[in-house]
A and B are shown apart, each in its own frame.
Chain A
Amino acid sequence: EAQVTQNPRYLITVTGKKLTVTCSQNMNHEYMSWYRQDPGLGLRQIYYSMNVEVTDKGDVPEGYKVSRKEKRNFPLILESPSPNQTSLYFCASSQGYNQPQHFGDGTRLSIL
């Protein structure tokens, strides 16, 4: 089954403790992206990747890092999480530009 898998689905942690949210897709998609969704602010893009070793900032990249060492994986790294990064995070992938995007089920992060 074609899918985008995020882990963990839920995480409560403390300020400053590094964490990684993993994202994996099994559709051989070139394009992958991370979004955060906050009430009243909609979906905002954090980082995206056009292919292996090609990443770029989205609209709200501060405080986040990403890597794309393999086509299927696109982890999101919070080196020193802060409470303003408490949010619902989604990973998405697509075959190419303007193709339908497939989303994971989300990761709810709470930073205390």
Chain B
Amino acid sequence: DAKTTQPNSMESNEEEPVHLPCNHSTISGTDYIHWYRQLPSQGPEYVIHGLTSNVNNRMASLAIAEDRKSSTLILHRATLRDAAVYYCILRRPYTGANSKLTFGKGITLSVRP
């Protein structure tokens, strides 16, 4: 899977929107952009994924740049429970039988009350 680059950490205030950036300049045309997060003392949790168009679900929105070299995960109203490490990863639609996830260091999001 191609490499992604994320800042190490970000801070936000509770009930404000949060924009978490991810750069993936070597993305290929078939790579999907996936976001997972890991809350303290829990397993990783799927958040959202997309290919070209912006995507929304109950947890977040994913904004994908027109050239697909970057994307932004948007939490519309941060809560204390959103404090976690957020991972942006790229996944090919099919590269064989193994569906292994490879996480980088991710962004550590802190939320201030």
CB of A43 within 8 A of CB of B102, answer yes
Name the segment of A11-19, A66-74, A75-83, A96-104 touching the other chain. A96-104
- B contact residues around A104 at 8 Å (CB): 43
Counting residue pairs across A and B whose Cβ atoms lie within 8 Å, the total is: 60
Assign chain B's interface to a size class: 20 to 34
CB of B101 within 8 A of CB of A43, answer yes
Q: Which of A48, A90, A99, A100 interacts with B100 by CB under 8 Å?
A: A48
CB of B42 within 8 A of CB of A106, answer yes
Of all chain A residues, which has the CB nearest B105?
A42
Chain B 64-113 residues near chain A, CB threshold 8 A: 91-94, 97-105
Complex Cα spacing A111 to B68, Å? 45
User: Is B16's beta carbon under 8 Å from chain A?
Assistant: no
CB of A103 within 8 A of CB of B43, answer yes
Name the segment of B4-12, B21-29, B44-52 touching the other chain. B44-52
Chain A contributes a number of interface residues (CB within 8 A of B) equal to 26
CB of B97 within 8 A of CB of A45, answer no
Q: Which of B41, B44, B94, B102 interacts with A103 by CB under 8 Å?
A: B44
B34, B44, B93, B103, most chain A CB atoms within 10 A: B44
- A contact residues around B42 at 8 Å (CB): 105-106
User: Is A24's beta carbon under 8 Å from chain B?
Assistant: no
Residues of A participating in the B interface, judged by any CB pair closer than 8 Å: 4, 31, 33, 35, 42-43, 45, 48, 50, 56, 58-59, 90, 92, 94, 96-106
If A50-B97, A101-B46, A106-B42 are given as contacts, then 12 extra A-B residue pairs at C-beta distance below 8 Å, sorted by A number, are A33-B99, A45-B100, A48-B99, A48-B100, A97-B97, A98-B92, A98-B93, A98-B99, A100-B34, A100-B49, A103-B45, A105-B43
Residues of B participating in the A interface, judged by any CB pair closer than 8 Å: 32, 34, 41-46, 49, 91-94, 97-105
